[in-house]
Structure 1
Amino acid sequence: MVLRGSLGRMIIRKAALAGASLAVLTGAAEAQQGGAGTIALDTISVEGQQGSGGAGHAGPVSPRVETATGPVQGYVATRSATATKTDTPIIRTPQSISVIGTEQIQAQKAQTLSEALRYAPGVFANQFGPDTRLDWFIIRGFSATEAGLFRDGLQLFQTSFANYRIDPFGAERIELLRGPSATLFGGSPVGGLINIVTKRPPLEPLHYLELGGGSFNQAYAAFDLGGPVDPEGHWFYRLTGRLQNSDAQVQFAPEDRYYIAPAFTYKPDGATTFTVLTSFQRDVTGGAGQFLPYFGTVRPQALGLRINRSLNVSDPLIDGYTRNQANAGYIFEHQFDDVWTVRQNFRYSLTDVRDQRYVGNGYVEGNTTETELARYGFLTTPTASTIAVDTQAEARFNDGYFAHDLLLGVDYKRYRLADYQASASPVDPLNILSPRYGVIAGPYNPYNVSTQVLQQVGLYAQDQIRLTERLTFLIGGRQDFVTTDVTNKLTPSASVRGDDQAFTGRLGLIYNFDNGFAPYVTWGTSFNPVPGTNTAGQPYRPDKGDQIEVGAKFEPPGWNTLLTVAAFDLQRSNVLTPDPANPFNNLQVGAVRSRGFEASVVASLADGLNLVGAYTVYDLNTVKGTVLDLGKVPVGIPETFGSLWLDYTIPSGEWKGFGFGGGVRYVGRSFADVANTLRVPDYVLFDAAVHYERDGWRAAVNIQNAGDRRFVSSCSTATACFYGEQRRIIGSVSYRW
């Protein structure tokens, strides 16, 4: 066996780190074909890894080798584990993936996941405007909100109104994987998923503080502390937190958040790591989901007016949203020898929500001036918990002909939802010209009181086979078993149990030229359990999908740059479609096809100059459905969007540390009705930033939607349109030592 170090560092068969507090195995040995009967492995280096702290590049940092779960050095990530569940170079991964690290998050001052993904290809976030409750995502034309949110490789399943929201300050990196991923993750959307890698205890001391505030009376404080605990270098800790008090874009609504995340790592030796990750978050807000009519937002209403963007359709007397969410789990890894490594990820997640408000429901019938908005009362108090565990065994070896990276795994998920939903009607209408608040609705009548338990067991296998030094073949398969129990407490006879199973697979081929060019092709299938039942009391079947993708990646030698292009053709079946004969029923007869093209670039063009660009265009079409939607584009989904961000920090001279940046975002038109007769126009937004760094200090001013463009993000019906973000100015000062 031949071991080769790509950076010329000392190569070891197995590291023993007793007494070495700054040592860690950071490079997972990547198998290469090095000749018959040999395996040439990339670097296994002994290196101290510094935590990012969200501080951008202020202050000195120690040299480090990037790992799939560690900090991104600058803007350009080179490795990821989301697409393969193994530490794999992005340039050798035959699937589209984008990685946003803390430096980019800091430079753009993204305060939600939706904002962090604004400059990534293939994803349309903030579909319903700046929703203060949760983040909404559409990936390659399909919703990924419910089943597409993952944290550290484990799903944060959210259905009904029991949802989670992750503060990006607690993220080391945000990874967007496009295309089917069920082969590794089980039930997940066909378009792709979002995986947040949590900040973990650093091996070197980390101290970071930040204060900021700005528009809508926002004020916040954030801290990130960590490092070794004992002189022997076996124990490490991290404490991350963010406290915010703010008003929302909508009048009379707060946007307060309290987030804290303690974590610790135990490393008894160089082969074993045990990390405990915990977090607690409380969100207090309101005014969510302003359901406004098409005429009065996208187009003028009868009097030629448009509704004020800050109008609260609800009522401050009753409007309120509170969520408490908690996560506790661990990540365990042990390397037995040069071949075998085992891992286990475990997490328990809990979310408890209370959401009460009045919801807009179009203009009052007969109101010819279109000034009176009809409303109804809504109340929900769901509680949901998830237990998720993923156990893996990875073997890197050579069979005498080819080098293998074999992954075997089994995962288990148990999701339990206690749901309560009620409505009150009628509620006094709201005059858009002179709104009157202090209105009390009638009694709330429950229409959904139920419990739902979903359990999923998956067995999966994947092999990345190095056929030659440059050609890699990926093959994977998975068998899932899913049971769903729904107990209807209002109508016990409507309680149901469903059992499903599905096999999903993935094939990929990528060729790496010496000049950094890597064309690839991949095919994969997906499935995703659909909660709920039809009017006949039968549980819905899982929706399914398949995709073919052809693309290329380019990582020119000597350049800190990654360019990607991809063309895809994917189809989703068993889509829920409204029943033309019964508005309270959905038919599972739909199929939607998405064919498109994506391009992206992430680069550090020169010392201090960073670039992020993306472009997406696709053709979304209902290929199977009812007479209402057949051949139409699904509502609320733009088919074209692009973005460009540049940021420059002067590296030397009298102005050293001074920097500025700016971005432009374009979102194409979408439709507000199934018949595609009501069009929501496209829009262009501009962002800007000015910052200064010196001696560990960083001061910055960021502006989102700098021109204060008035626009509608999307409409889901003619009576449910959503204004986009107003101009937001954020000032911040941070110190790292």
Structure 2
Amino acid sequence: MVSPNAGTDPTNMTRGAYTTQESIRSVAVDNQAEARFHAGPIEHTVLAGIDYRNGVDKTLNGTVAVVPPINAFNPVYGTPFGPVPFTTRNRQQIDQVGEYIQDQIKYDHWVALLGIRHDLAQSRTDSLSFATNVTTIAPKSDTAVTKRGALLYKFDNGVAPYIQYTESFQPTAGTDFFNRPFMPTTGKQGEVGIKYQPNDKSLYTIAAFDLVQQNVVTPDPDSTHGPTARVQTGEVRSRGVEFEAKTEVNRELTVLASYTYLDNVVTKTNTAAQLGKHPVGFPMNSASVWADYTFRGGALDGFGVSGGVRYIGELPGNTANTFYVPDVTLFDAAIHYDFSALGPMFKGYSAQVNATNLFDKTYVTYCQDFGCYYGLRRNVIATLRYRW
């Protein structure tokens, strides 16, 4: 990896080499019960449950600092510099148990939602240094109570303004450069919006939100720690507007569209260069349009084709916001088939092929203080599914 901050002479740019191997295994179980009843004119839908999540993250990391420099104007690749040895091995296990209950309350044109959740998260991080053959163990335990509430009013013409408040608590897997486990990410979000549903086939939503998150994981601004190192920024405030639309033009054709304007700023940090800046990796503007046409009857009954376009606006390329990654427009497509069109015996079977970045466009998706990354090339995934 070439570091753009390693010197001002582009004919003799210093480089470093890093390696990492990571495996993640996770299990999630969610058990819940629902009860519906009336208390006079008020309708209640109560949902209560317990969920459990277990995750194990294993990483091997290595680095070598002595790598031949490169000329940016006349690069010569393939210069040997020897293998990159592993220097540390980490294993982190996180167990999280949550209990929650919520009540959806309906009265006339009013709909309210009230919920509360309690979480207990425990983790253990084992870090082995190959240089000293010493393993450090860092146990951690966190608990939190989070709340949510929303209120909506449905007019007869399909317009429904709403307001909601949500708190979040999310254990964060991984460690920083010094193998210290991350703190859970917490947040508080307020949102106001309007939903419009003129009929059963269309839904339009516009919303404005204000989200404040603590302990957000961001790239480590110290380039000597390697490209995979992360730190936790003190606080990030995100404000923006979202628009979503879904409509069934007819029985065969469905169109979805969305647009997001996002203004997020680092409001508290232990890294002075980040304060008041936009975090790297988040575009201010993004939009997408997706259309799906599924044949209903005839020789192609059950067969469908989809296509769409994604726009990703320019985004900050470093913590100082001195340069930005250019915007990009990408195209995606899919084909799918519902086997139930062949007869009742095939009900529940379906197949689908998705292609992202359909035209294999070369673009930069992400930059940080000491390097940039290309976006994914054309990616094709085939899926065979059975539902019952």
Which TM class, normalised by the smaller chain length? 0.7 to 0.9
Q: Which of 580, 601, 619 is the matching residue for 2:245? A: 601
The question of 1:566 aligning with 2:207 is answered: yes
The 3-state SS of whatever aligns with 2:272 is coil
The 5 Å alignment of 1:713-724 reads 713-717=365-369, 719-724=370-375
Distance 2:50 2:236 in 1: 31
1:522 aligned residue? 164
CA apart distance, 1:600: 1.2
Q: Is the 8 A contact 2:183 2:215 kept in 1?
A: yes
Alignment pair present for 1:545 and 2:184 = no
Tell me the distance in 2 between the aligned counterparts of 1:653 and 1:580. 59
Q: How far did 1:598 drift?
A: 0.8
Alpha-carbon distance change, 631 to 455 in structure 1, aligned in 2, over 3 angstroms: same
Alignment-mate amino acid for residue 716 of structure 1: Q
- Given that residues 577 and 590 in structure 1 are in contact (C-alpha distance below 8 angstroms), is that contact kept between their aligned partners in structure 2? no
1:191-212 Cα distance to aligned partner (Å, 9 max, x none): xxxxxxxxxxxxxxxxxxxxxx
* Equivalence for 2:346: none
Matched AA of 2:263: D
Give the equivalent residue in structure 2 for 1:512. Answer: 154
Partner of residue 112, structure 2: 473
| Structure 1 or 2: more strand by fraction | 2
Decide whether the 8 Å contact of 1:424 with 1:445 is kept in 2.
no
* Identity across matched positions, percent: 36
Structure 2 CA distance, aligned partners of 1:409 and 1:709?
45
Aligned-partner Cα distance in 2 for 1:666–1:633: 19
**3-state DSSP of counterpart to 1:495:** strand
Name the counterpart of 1:451. Answer: 91
CA pair 651-407 structure 1, distance change in 2 beyond 3 A: closer
Q: Distance in 1 between matches of 2:30 and 2:335?
A: 43
Contiguous gaps of at least 5 residues in structure 2: 343-349
1:489: which partner in 2?
A: 128
Q: Quote the residue 2:50 is aligned against.
A: 410
Change (3 A) 1:657 1:434: farther
Aligned letter for 2:155?
Answer: F
Written as runs of structure 1 = structure 2, the 5 A alignment for 1:104-503 is 360-362=1-3, 368=9, 370=11, 374-380=15-21, 382-426=22-66, 435-436=77-78, 439=80, 441-442=82-83, 444-447=85-88, 449-466=89-106, 468-490=107-129, 494-503=136-145
Shift of 1:597: 0.8
Give the aligned partner of residue 685 of structure 1.
330
Q: Give how far 1:483 is off.
A: 2.0
Separation in 2, partners of 1:576, 1:658: 43
Where 1:450 maps in the other structure, the secondary structure is: strand
Change (3 A) 1:706 1:446: closer
Give, in whole Å, the separation in 2 of the partners of 1:422 and 1:565: 47
Structure-1 separation of matches of 2:355 and 2:49: 45
Aligned position for 2:258 = 614
SS at match of 2:198: coil
Secondary structure of the structure 2 residue equivalent to 1:556? strand
C-alpha RMSD of matched pairs (Å): 4.3
Contact 1:412 1:455 in 2 (8 A): yes
Q: Whole-Å Cα distance in 1 between the matches of residues 355 and 139 of structure 2?
A: 51
Describe the SS at the equivalent of 2:261. Answer: strand
Q: Distance in 2 between matches of 1:687 and 1:553?
A: 28
1:481 deviates by 1.8
Following TM superposition, by how much is the alpha carbon of 1:726 offset from its aligned partner in structure 2, in angstroms? 4.8
Q: How does the TM-score come out when normalised to structure 2?
A: 0.76
Contact (CA 8 Å) 2:207, 2:243: kept in 1 or not?
yes
Q: Secondary structure at the match of 2:108?
A: coil
Which residue is 2:280 aligned to?
635
1:644 aligns with 2:285: no
Q: Is the contact between residue 506 and residue 523 of structure 1 (CA under 8 Å) also seen in structure 2?
A: yes
Q: Is residue 671 from structure 1 mapped to residue 323 from structure 2 by the alignment?
A: no
1:372–1:587 CA distance, 2 compared to 1 (3 A): closer
1:691/1:700 contact within 8 Å kept: yes
Using the TM superposition, give the Cα deviation of residue 595 of structure 1 relative to its aligned residue in structure 2, in angstroms. 0.7
Native 8 Å contact 1:649 1:658 kept in 2: yes
- Equivalent residue for 1:341? none
Instruction: Give the Cα separation in 1 of the matches to 2:327 and 2:222.
Output: 33
Deviations 1:556-582 (A, max 9, x none): 22x522222211111112335788899
Taking structure 1 as reference, are residues 712 and 478 closer, same or farther at Cα in structure 2, changes over 3 Å only? same
Q: Structure 1: where are the runs of 5+ without partners? A: 1-359
Q: Give the distance between the partners of 1:461 and 1:731, measured in 2 at CA.
A: 38
Within 2, Cα distance between the matches of 1:411 and 1:657?
37
Give the Å deviation of 1:615.
0.7
